[in-house]
Structure 1
Amino acid sequence: MPTFQTSRRVQHSADDMFDLVADVEKYPRFVPLCQSLKVRGRREMDDGRVVLISDMTVAYKLFSETFASRVTLDREARRITVEYLEGPFRHLENNWDFKPLDDGTCEVGFFITYEFRSRTLGSLMGAMFDRAFRKFASAFEERADEIYGAV
């Protein structure tokens, strides 16, 4: 099963980076392959977490697929978890962690593992997904510089 994991120190606070990643509706503006993202449900839990149900459409050239996921925003733990619900995958799991550092910056951890339901789709899209995930951290860091200012 393809897996990608990275950890990067960024020149923005953990809270700012959490807010940036939590603002999923803005992903089509800067996230590689993300053509659209619609939140179809949002619920605040008693423990302070927020749970979103979203539909994300990824597109590349003539290929386009939409999948649904549950996104749990846990501000207290500084963690965002994405759980796959339906679409072209057999499995998809994605986590973000935001660790504040003493100088006001933070370390952002990103993990994703996935498997396409169809072998054909996996062979068509696998390499392209792998390249896109390798660009995710940079895309979010560049977006943070745009919003919060480059340091």
Structure 2
Amino acid sequence: MATIQQSVIVPYDQAAMYTLVDHILAYPEFVDWCVASREIERDAKHVKGALTFEFHGVQYEFSTYNRLKPYEQMDIDLIDGPFEYLTGHWYFKALNNNMCEITLHLNYAFSVIGLSLLFEPIFKRMAHHWVDAFCQRADEIYGHDSN
């Protein structure tokens, strides 16, 4: 099993950042290599969604069940995709002066050795860009420069 964890402090409140992460239909507009997204089901406490990524001509889709704790946390569990296992969390921690710390934590393993050899380097690279993509998107929408 592989683990990815990335945290950053941003000059936006936790509700603003949570809202960006929760709006999966917008991911293809700003998340590198995400070519499609869809919501399968949504209510106040959960969302089932699917993301399609393409990298150097290789495309894969995975779907997750995300338990929502608005403005604080999203818990992610695999429904379907090229993984044997995928679970994770987005955390949104309020800080002083309308700032927050966002953290993405993922644990995963690919379902087949061949897939692991092909997709793991791609997935790691993509996942490490996700937090940065949300920070850049926040700058575009909310008008600050987080650098």
SS of the counterpart of 1:150? coil
Q: 1:55: Cα distance to partner? A: 1.6
Which residue number in structure 2 is paired with residue 68 of structure 1?
A: 63
Q: 1:87: Cα distance to partner? A: 1.7
Which residue number in structure 2 is paired with residue 53 of structure 1?
A: 48
CA distance in 1, matches of 2:30, 2:42: 22
Q: For 2:95, which of 97, 101, 111 is the aligned residue?
A: 101
Which residue number in structure 2 is paired with residue 82 of structure 1?
A: 76
1:2-151 pair list within 5 angstroms: 2-44=2-44, 50-75=45-70, 78-151=72-145
SS of the counterpart of 2:88? strand
The TM-score, its normalising length taken from structure 2, stands at 0.93
SS of the counterpart of 2:43? strand
Q: 1:43: Cα distance to partner? A: 2.2
1:115-141 superposed Cα distances (whole Å, 9 cap, x missing partner): 111111110111121111111111110
CA distance in 2, matches of 1:107, 1:119: 35
SS of the counterpart of 2:60? strand
SS of the counterpart of 1:35? strand
CA distance in 2, matches of 1:72, 1:35: 24
Between Structure 1 and Structure 2, how many residues are aligned?
145
Percent identity over the alignment is 29
SS of the counterpart of 2:15? helix
CA distance in 2, matches of 1:32, 1:73: 24
SS of the counterpart of 1:12? coil
CA distance in 2, matches of 1:92, 1:136: 16
The TM-score, its normalising length taken from structure 1, stands at 0.90
1:47-98 superposed Cα distances (whole Å, 9 cap, x missing partner): xxx211112112112211112211222116x101111011211001121111
Instruction: Give unpaired runs (5+ residues) of structure 1.
Output: 45-49
